[in-house]
Chain A
Amino acid sequence: MNAGDHIGDDAALYALGVLDEERVRSIDAHVATCEPCARALGEAEGGVAGMVAAGPQYAMPAEIVALREPRARRPAWRPALALAVAAALVVGILPSAYFWEREATLHRAMMTDAAAMDRLASSPHRTVAFVGMEPGASAHVMYGPDGSWYVVLVRGASRALRLVWMHDGGRTPLGTAEPYGNVALLYLPKSHRMDRLALMDGERMVAEAQLAY
C-alpha cells in the first residue's frame, strides 16, 4: 500500500472483519500515520460497536482474566480430559449441572450488584423514589445526571417486578428486578435519558417514577 492510498471503503470491511490478514496488516500500518483514514476507520468501528451493543449480552465467567501475559497453550491431553468428563457425566455427575447453573446465576447477580455499587460509589447521581409501592415496600432509582446509567433498588420485594420505560404511549421492557432476600436490584448501563419508569407485576403497573435531568 502506498502512502498516498487511503483506505476508502475498506474501512467498513476492516471493521466488519471480512478482510484477509494481509490487507488488515497494511491498513493497520497505514492508519498509524494517516489521521483522515484513522478517523474514517474509527467511524466504521463505531457502527459495528453499535451493532454489537444492540445484540445479546453475556456475563463474563467468574475467573479474573490475567491481561498482561498470553495464556499458556491448551495442553495436548484436553481430548482425553473431555472424554473423562463425558464418562463422568454418564455415571452420574449430571445432576450437579443443576447446581452449577444455580451458582452461575448467583454469580451473575453478584457481578451485577458489584458493577452497580462501583458505579454508585464512583459517579455523581440523583435519586428518585417510585410512587405507589405497597405498604412495607419501597423502590428508588439512582441514575447518572446525563442518563447514561440507572440502578433500581426495591426493598421489601416479595416477587420479581419488571421495569419498563414509559414513552410515546408505549412501554419498552428494560429488565426484571429479581429479589434476593428482601432486596431486588437492577443495573442498567443505558445511554438514554428516560424520564418515566414504571415497575410492573405482570401487566399491572405497581409504581412509577418521574426522573429529571
Chain B
Amino acid sequence: MAAPSEDELANGFAAHERWAFDEAYRRYSGLLYSAAYNVLGNAEDARDCVHDALSRVWRSPHAYTRARGAVRSFLVVCVRNEAISRRRSQSRRARLNERLAAEPVVHAELGAGDPIERDRLRAALAQLPPEQRVPLELAYYRGKTHVEIASELQQPLGTIKSRIAMGLRKLGAALGGTPA
C-alpha cells in the first residue's frame, strides 16, 4: 500500500487519528530527535524531550489545525521549543548549564547534515541584510530571547521583533522547496 501523501497525513493528524500520529512519528522521528539533540546535546535528554513533546501533542487534540500547514514543521517546532524550555530550566538550576546557555552549543556530531540543505540555508542567510540576519541567528543558534537580543544590539524591542519576523519570513520563502 502506498504511503499516505502529506495532505492525507495532515488531514488525519488534524482529525487526531492514531494512524496519522504513528505515520508522522515514523516519518519524522529522526528529524525531531535531531531538533532536540541540537539544543540539548545529550542523547537521553533528547529522547525524553521528543517523547514528552509528542505525548503533549497527542493529549492536545486541537493543537494542530489544517491552517497551520505542514505537520513536519509543526512537530519540529513543538519538539524544539520543548528542548529550549528544558535547557532554560536546567540553566536556572546549575551553573554549568548557565555557561552552556551563554556559549554556542557544541555537539559531538554523529551524522553530517544534508549538504544541499546546508548550502541552501547558508545562501539564504547570506541574502538577508545584517540587521535581520544577526538577530535571527542570535535567536536560533544562541537561544537568546528577543529581550536579550534587543539589549545586546541596543535596539528597541519592537524593531528587533519585526526584524526577526521579516528575516524568518524571507528565509522560509528561500527554503520553500523543503517538503512539507
Contacts and interface: CB of A to CB of B under 8 A. Distances in A.
Contacts of A57: 30-31, 34, 111-114
Interface in B74-96: 74, 76-77, 80-81, 84-85
Given A39-B67, A45-B74, A192-B177, A16 B47 contact: no
Contacts of A48: 73, 76-77, 80, 140, 168
B99 to A, nearest CB: 20
A15 B177 contact: no
Contacts of B120: 54
Given A24-B81, A38-B67, A61 B47 contact: yes
B69 interface: yes
Nearest to B149: A18
Contacts, number: 220
Interface string B150-166: 00000000000110110
Contacts of A67: 21-22, 25, 51, 54-55, 58
Chain B interface bracket (under 10, 10 to 19, 20 to 34, 35 or more):
35 or more
B137 to A, nearest CB: 10
Contacts of A116: none
A122 B3 contact: yes
Contacts of B67: 31, 35, 38-39, 42
B144 A47 contact: no
Interface string B29-69: 11101110110000100111011101100100011010111
Nearest to B43: A61
Nearest to A105: B110
A201 interface: no
A17 B84 contact: yes
B45 to A, nearest CB: 11
B74 A9 contact: no
A60 B26 CA distance: 11
B172 A47 contact: yes
A46 B65 contact: no
**Most interface-central of A11, A56, A61 (chain B CB within 10 A):** A56
Nearest to B72: A49
B180 to A, nearest CB: 8
A44 B172 contact: yes
A42 B146 contact: no
A14 B109 CA distance: 27
Given A42-B68, A45-B74, A56 B81 contact: no
Interface string A80-100: 000000000000000000000
A53 B178 contact: yes
Given A10-B161, A12-B169, A52 B114 contact: no
Interface string A20-32: 0100100010011
Contacts of B136: 16
Contacts of B1: 122
Interface of B: 1-3, 21-22, 25, 29-31, 33-35, 37-38, 43, 46-48, 50-52, 54-55, 58, 62-63, 65, 67-70, 72-74, 76-77, 80-81, 84-85, 107, 109-121, 136, 139-140, 143-146, 161-162, 164-165, 167-169, 171-172, 175-180
8 smallest CB-CB distances across A and B, nearest first, come from: A42-B69, A47-B172, A50-B175, A54-B121, A38-B67, A9-B165, A54-B117, A12-B165
